[in-house]
A and B are shown apart, each in its own frame.
Chain A
């Protein structure tokens, strides 16, 4: 058994796996969407307008303007992590869904890729929805100031793929539901708070800034910020490539770990 085979054994079957997740989503979207639908409204109201009244930024922008790019990175991250973390874990360990799909021509790589593509889809839908909410509220928030804002959809695809890969890799390692506490408390929550979505990163001590640079979420926030404001800079290239590199690394890790998990 060769675990580190990099020959991609990926086929059209990964699309069928994606379609399975889409079909399930169409069954449950009403219950799922209620929470997801309300979330950005509440956050913008509470953080943007509520907390925002007590915040003055050096740049002079409104707090809700500062917050908007972060929201479009953080909530899609959660969407991808939930879908490919808990969701995949249940499909691997509890429902035997993967075992059943593996009995068809689909390979382990197809299943993993299909799951990651679905996590990416959820993250992208989530970011797009928040963008729409911000556009609706733009009269009060002034958050969307450039047609480049549409580029946020592509940032969401890239980071959706990345966080879905991280979550799948973790789901392949986890042996119990409670293990997801590690994923959440050690990886997701620190990124959530320290990604520069809630406060400017340069408020942190320099050593912390240096460490934080490696967190992928920071770069999605930076890309979103530039796209919303229309201030395209060269540093965006670095942001983009770092996200892409981390995505490729974790996608490879996810494939290897899933093979290790499912082949006996």
Chain B
């Protein structure tokens, strides 16, 4: 079995609202799989179905070889969940948060003690073992949430926006620890709004919008496929773009965002384009990234 999660024709409706619309995807064992999409796109609904906290409307969902409709206890014992909202137990200090949580998995006392010590060590929280939860920084809480999700050695780790609200240092520490998990063959499913995070961590990505999958590939492939290598950002160019288009013997991809025009181009096309226009100092040439892909696919407008 080298498939960790398999969804076929998976749907979730809330009354008339279709949150997830007959999507198909599979997550391979050991990979880090990214779920990207704007707010309300259906990411969280998908995650909640995988974690057995939300029943499917239709379709089939297999997690760790088990059907989510009827093997929830068993599935939940094989997955670890890092939730979007901090739901550490505020009534218990750091170490006891982990001990009490490990007990829900039915681990025996000695193993619990060992696993808790290990996790505190790995996530650099040992010196805060007896601190109350409210005294921890945002980064520490996140690390504790991840440590908690790993107590029972899950084969699949689900991370719903794992670094939201963290400062750059704390994000890098979390990333480092997640990459370590990939080395240890823990399958990861990740949702995030940070495109650099997805690029850093994910082996494969799906982009969702309005409950449907728009694209699925490796981050670099997505960039190549939808944007090309380069992005030329030019200020106040919207009046000249038609002229440029007519002067070229190939079609160009571009988008106009207010007073800024983005031209997406491969290396070859770029030199042809550069020859045609005066590059003023109000322009900027940069490498294309996943954020360009995201905005091209899901549009600029707010969905909410």
Asked if B87 contacts A96 (CB within 8 A), the reply is: yes
Q: Flag A87-104 by CB within 8 Å of B: 1 or 0 each.
A: 000000001110111111
Q: Which of B53, B54, B83, B92 has a CB less than 8 Å from the CB of A24?
A: B92
Asked if A103 contacts B83 (CB within 8 A), the reply is: yes
* Cα separation A105 to B72 with both chains bound (whole Å): 7
* Cα separation A16 to B51 with both chains bound (whole Å): 20
Q: Given A103-B51, A264-B54, do A24 and B91 touch, yes or no (CB 8 Å)?
A: yes
Residue of A nearest to B53 (CB): A102
Q: How far is the CB of A107 from chain B (nearest CB, A)?
A: 7
A13 touches B (CB below 8 Å): yes
Give 7 nearest A-B pairs by CB, closest first: A96-B87, A104-B104, A100-B87, A103-B81, A24-B91, A105-B73, A105-B76
Asked if A27 contacts B91 (CB within 8 A), the reply is: yes
Asked if B103 contacts A99 (CB within 8 A), the reply is: no
* Cα separation A23 to B83 with both chains bound (whole Å): 24
Q: Which of A1, A23, A105, A107 has a CB less than 8 Å from the CB of B96?
A: A23
- Contact size range, A: 20 to 34
B117 touches A (CB below 8 Å): no
Asked if A96 contacts B85 (CB within 8 A), the reply is: yes
Q: Given A99-B83, A102-B53, A105-B77, do A16 and B104 touch, yes or no (CB 8 Å)?
A: yes
* Cα separation A161 to B87 with both chains bound (whole Å): 27
Q: How far is the CB of B84 from chain A (nearest CB, A)?
A: 10
A20 touches B (CB below 8 Å): yes
Extra contacts, 5 of them, besides A13-B104, A23-B92 (Cβ < 8 A), are A12-B106, A20-B100, A95-B89, A105-B76, A105-B77
* Cα separation A13 to B86 with both chains bound (whole Å): 22
Residue of A nearest to B79 (CB): A103
A19 touches B (CB below 8 Å): yes
Q: How far is the CB of B119 from chain A (nearest CB, A)?
A: 15
* Cα separation A1 to B91 with both chains bound (whole Å): 32
Asked if A100 contacts B54 (CB within 8 A), the reply is: no
A211 touches B (CB below 8 Å): no
Residue of B nearest to A106 (CB): B104
Within 8 A of A (CB), among B3-46: 14
What is the interface of chain B mostly: helix, strand, loop, or mixed? loop
A186 touches B (CB below 8 Å): no
Q: Flag B41-70 by CB within 8 Å of A: 1 or 0 each.
A: 000000010010111000000000000000
A209 touches B (CB below 8 Å): no
Asked if B87 contacts A97 (CB within 8 A), the reply is: yes
Q: Which residues of A contact B83 (CB under 8 A)?
A: 96, 99-100, 103
Q: Which of B73, B87, B92, B104 has a CB less than 8 Å from the CB of A99?
A: B87
A42 touches B (CB below 8 Å): no
B168 touches A (CB below 8 Å): no
Asked if B72 contacts A23 (CB within 8 A), the reply is: no
A234 touches B (CB below 8 Å): no
Q: Which residues of B contact A107 (CB under 8 A)?
A: 72-73
B258 touches A (CB below 8 Å): no
Q: Given A23-B92, A27-B92, A96-B83, do A1 and B55 touch, yes or no (CB 8 Å)?
A: yes
B194 touches A (CB below 8 Å): no
A210 touches B (CB below 8 Å): no
Q: Which residues of B contact A97 (CB under 8 A)?
A: 87, 89-91
Asked if B104 contacts A101 (CB within 8 A), the reply is: yes
Q: How far is the CB of A261 from chain B (nearest CB, A)?
A: 12
List 14 interface pairs A-B (beta carbons < 8 Å), by A numbering. Answer: A11-B73, A12-B106, A13-B104, A16-B103, A17-B104, A27-B91, A95-B87, A95-B90, A96-B86, A96-B87, A99-B53, A105-B76, A105-B104, A263-B55
B294 touches A (CB below 8 Å): no
Q: Which residues of A contact B86 (CB under 8 A)?
A: 96
B264 touches A (CB below 8 Å): no
Q: Which residues of A contact B53 (CB under 8 A)?
A: 99, 102-103, 263-264
Q: Which residues of B contact A99 (CB under 8 A)?
A: 53, 83, 85, 87
Q: Which residues of B contact A16 (CB under 8 A)?
A: 103-104, 106
* Cα separation A220 to B92 with both chains bound (whole Å): 35
* Cα separation A160 to B73 with both chains bound (whole Å): 29
Asked if A100 contacts B89 (CB within 8 A), the reply is: yes
